[in-house]
Amino acid sequence: MKTYDMYGNVTMETNSLERRGDELVMKGKGLGSMPMTLFIRPEEIWNARKLLSWSVIWYMPIIVVKGWWRSRKS
């Protein structure tokens, strides 16, 4: 999975996402060269709900379907 900035540059390339105990561990490269290991705690997932507006919540199923559709085409 890749995340991009507004200019289309890759900011993070995720290679794996796994569970380790109570945390999610995401491994990848930041800014194309810096290896990173991110630890996501359960309480941070819960706190992330504050970032979600109703328009984002309603869009989530749509983006999942669009992603599935586009990945099948390529």
Rounded to whole angstroms, the Cα distance separating 74 from 70 reads 7
Note down pLDDT in tens along the chain; length 74 residues.
999 999 999 999 999 999 999 999 999 999 888 999 999 999 998 998 889 899 999 999 999 999 999 999 87
The rounded radius of gyration (Å) of the Cα atoms in the chain is 15
pLDDT of residue 17: 94
Query: For the chain, what is the domain count?
Result: 1
Domain that holds residue 17: 2-73
- Torsions phi, psi for 56 (to 5 deg): -70, -45
pLDDT of residue 73: 86
Contact 8, 24 (CB under 8 A): no
Rounded to whole angstroms, the Cα distance separating 69 from 16 reads 22
* Selection from 62, 59, 11 nearest residue 34 by Cα: 11
Tokens coding 66: 């669009």
pLDDT of residue 43: 94
